[in-house]
Structure 1
Amino acid sequence: MSKRYNIKNLEELQAHLFALKSGYMMQEDMLKQNTRLYVRQYSIVNLFKKYATPSSFMKVDEKLNVSSKLMSLVLPIIMNSTLFRGSGFMTKALVGLATSKMGKSLDAEHLSSIFTSVKGWFNKSKKPSKRNMQVDYGIPPDSETF
């Protein structure tokens, strides 16, 4: 389908060519800008920032139960490669079966509570420093001793 233009002289032709070229340049710039925005929007870093927050993980976990599936796969591998390294085939098979069943029962809420309790063990072990301790001289602060 060809377009017919009503061009009568060379000056109109050059003006029309200039208008077409400027239109193409504007469209090219807009396409480049939109492409950059699209690539930034769906880059791995941006998707990770958007969807890897704890609240979104909990929402996804309620629907798909991703953490329990992941734990049922990862927990047997970790247990067999660390604690039961030198054991035989039957022991590793039983441990793998038991830990995969236990991993299916763990979800994101259980994992976060386990993590906070373990973190609490390490925070409680710190002893208060002597600088922060208040020394009590036995004189009440409201007494009228000058």
Structure 2
Amino acid sequence: MSKRYNIQNLEQLQAQLFMLKSGYTEKGSLLTQNVKLYVKQYTLGSLIRKYATPNALLKIDDKMNISSKVMSFVLPVIMNSTFFRGSGFMTKALVGLATSKMGKTLDAEHISAMFNTVKGLFNKAKKTRKPGLQVDYGIPPDSETF
């Protein structure tokens, strides 16, 4: 589809060429900006920032129960390799069954609550009062109430 331009002289022709070239470069730069934004949107870092947030992981976990499946496999291994290391086959089998059942009931909210509880215990230990701080009772130090 060709456009028809009403060009009468050489100056109008040069002006029309300049407008077409400037439009061409403007559209080209706009296209490269859009491509850069599109590619930047699907880089590995942006995908991780978008989908690896705690809220997104909790939504995925609510649908698929990933954390409970992982805990049902990991918890028996941890218990048998640490607490019941020297016990017999029957004890390890019973512990494995019990902990796998318990692991299925755990989900991401329970795990994060346990983590926050343990984290809170360590934060309370750090919040002890530092020596050398004086409490201000509102009495100026140069008053005669001493």
TM-score range, shorter chain: 0.5 to 0.7
What is the CA–CA distance in structure 2 between the aligned matches of 1:133 and 1:109, rounded to whole Å? 42
Stretches of structure 1 that go unaligned for 5 or more consecutive residues are: 1-29
Provide the aligned length of Structure 1 versus Structure 2.
108
Stretches of structure 2 that go unaligned for 5 or more consecutive residues are: 1-31
Q: Deviations over 1:8-43 (max 9, x none)?
A: xxxxxxxxxxxxxxxxxxxxxx9xx79x939x8264
What is the CA–CA distance in structure 2 between the aligned matches of 1:124 and 1:86, rounded to whole Å? 36
Residue 98, structure 1, aligned to residue 98, structure 2: yes
With normalisation by structure 2, the TM-score equals 0.61
Match of residue 29 from structure 2 = none
With normalisation by structure 1, the TM-score equals 0.61
What is the CA–CA distance in structure 2 between the aligned matches of 1:108 and 1:54, rounded to whole Å? 10
Percent of aligned pairs with the same amino acid:
54
What is the CA–CA distance in structure 1 between the aligned matches of 2:132 and 2:65, rounded to whole Å? 48
The correspondence of residues 16-55 of structure 1 with structure 2, limited to 5 A, is 37=39, 41=42, 43=44, 45-55=45-55
Change (3 A) 1:46 1:78: farther
Q: Which moved more, 1:123-132 or 1:83-92?
A: 123-132
Change (3 A) 1:92 1:47: farther
Match of residue 135 from structure 2 = 134
What is the CA–CA distance in structure 2 between the aligned matches of 1:105 and 1:69, rounded to whole Å? 9
Match of residue 8 from structure 1 = none
What is the CA–CA distance in structure 1 between the aligned matches of 2:46 and 2:90, rounded to whole Å? 45
